[in-house]
Homo-oligomer: A and B are copies of this chain.
Amino acid sequence: MSSPAFAEAVKGDPIVFLPIGAVEAHGPHLPLGTDTFQPEFVVNAVCERVGGLIAPTINYGQHSSTRNLPGTIDISFDTLRALVMDILDALRRNGVRKVVVISGHFGSVHRAAVKLACERAARQGMKVMFLSDYELAELRAQVVSEGLPDGHGGALETSRMMDIRPDLVAEARTAGEFVSMDFMVRADPERCLPQGFGGDARMATPEKGRLVNQFVVERLTELVRRNFEG
C-alpha cells in the first residue's frame, strides 16, 4: 500500500489491526514464533470479515516465566509500552481513530505494558480494543484438554498451531507439568514449567485447533462489530 493509497483509505475511518507477536520458548514441539502465528492468523481472518487495515506485526514481547529458556528473546516492559505508544501516536497523527490491538502472548506484565499504552491512546480520543486471542481461545480450553490442566504451549496452543502451521509442530509430543511457585518471585521462574511448557500436548489435534480458531475468529468478529459499528 502506497502513501496516497493509505491517505485515501484513512478517509473511510477504517479499523487498524495491530498484531503483537513474540519470540518465546514454547516447549520442544512448538516454534518460538507460536505467539506471532496465532494473532496474525486471527487478524487476517477477522480483517477479511470486517474490513480494515493491518499494521505490521510487533514481533517481540515481554516475558517473565520463560525469560531464561533458550530462544526467548524478550524486550522490557518499558520498551514494549513505548513501542505501542509510539505506533498508536503515529496512527492517530495519520487520522486513524479505531484500533484493535491483538497480542498472542498472554503474560500479565506484557499485557500491562500494552494496556497502559492503550489507555493513553483512549484518553487522547482513540477507540482502542485490546485483547489476547488466547483469552478467547481459552473459552474453548475444556473441549481441547478434556478437563485436564492446560497452559503455555499445551494442548490448546498446540492444536491451534496444528491448524495454522502444521509444518512447524513436532510429531513427538509429551506432557508438561506445573510446579506452584507459592507466590515466590524467583530469578529462575522457569522452574514452574520443568518441561518448558504446561499441559498435555499429546491431546492436541488439528481438528480441535480448527474449532478453536474458528471460534476465536467468529467471537472476535462479533466483538469488533459491536464495539466499532454500534
**Nearest residue in B to A109 (C-beta to C-beta)?**
B112
> Would you call B60 and A72 a contact (CB within 8 A)?
no
> Would you call B70 and A4 a contact (CB within 8 A)?
yes
Shortest beta-carbon distance from A3 to chain B in Å = 4
Q: Using Cβ atoms and an 8 Å threshold, which residues of chain B touch A108?
A: 108, 111-112, 115
Known contacts A59-B59, A60-B56, A73-B90, A227 near B184 by CB under 8 Å: yes
> Would you call B55 and A23 a contact (CB within 8 A)?
yes
Q: Using Cβ atoms and an 8 Å threshold, which residues of chain B touch A69?
A: 3
Shortest beta-carbon distance from A15 to chain B in Å = 13
**Nearest residue in B to A188 (C-beta to C-beta)?**
B122
Query: For the complex, what is the distance from the CA of A116 to the CA of B30, rounded to whole Å?
Result: 27
**Nearest residue in B to A185 (C-beta to C-beta)?**
B118
> Would you call B79 and A86 a contact (CB within 8 A)?
yes
Shortest beta-carbon distance from A172 to chain B in Å = 11
| A interface majority secondary structure | mixed
> Would you call B1 and A32 a contact (CB within 8 A)?
yes
Q: Using Cβ atoms and an 8 Å threshold, which residues of chain B touch A93?
A: 68
Binds B, one of A42-50, A123-131, A141-149, A207-215: A123-131
Q: Using Cβ atoms and an 8 Å threshold, which residues of chain B touch A7?
A: 70-71
**Nearest residue in B to A21 (C-beta to C-beta)?**
B56
Partner of A86, one of B28, B76, B115, B227: B76
> Would you call A187 and B123 a contact (CB within 8 A)?
yes
Partner of A27, one of B3, B74, B75, B125: B3
> Would you call B64 and A119 a contact (CB within 8 A)?
yes
Query: For the complex, what is the distance from the CA of A57 to the CA of B60, rounded to whole Å?
Result: 9
> Would you call B56 and A59 a contact (CB within 8 A)?
yes
Shortest beta-carbon distance from A72 to chain B in Å = 7
Given contacts A72-B90, A184-B227, could you give 14 more A-B pairs where the C-beta distance is less than 8 Å?
A1-B32, A3-B27, A3-B32, A33-B56, A58-B60, A70-B94, A79-B85, A111-B112, A119-B185, A128-B184, A128-B185, A129-B183, A182-B226, A182-B227
Q: Which 9 A-B pairs have the closest CB atoms?
A: A3-B25, A112-B112, A7-B70, A56-B59, A6-B71, A75-B86, A118-B185, A131-B183, A79-B82
- Between-chain CB contacts (< 8 Å), 30 pairs: A2-B29, A2-B30, A2-B31, A2-B32, A2-B170, A3-B27, A3-B69, A3-B70, A4-B28, A6-B25, A6-B70, A7-B70, A23-B56, A64-B115, A73-B90, A75-B82, A75-B86, A75-B87, A75-B90, A76-B86, A77-B112, A78-B82, A108-B108, A108-B115, A109-B112, A115-B185, A119-B185, A121-B185, A128-B184, A129-B184
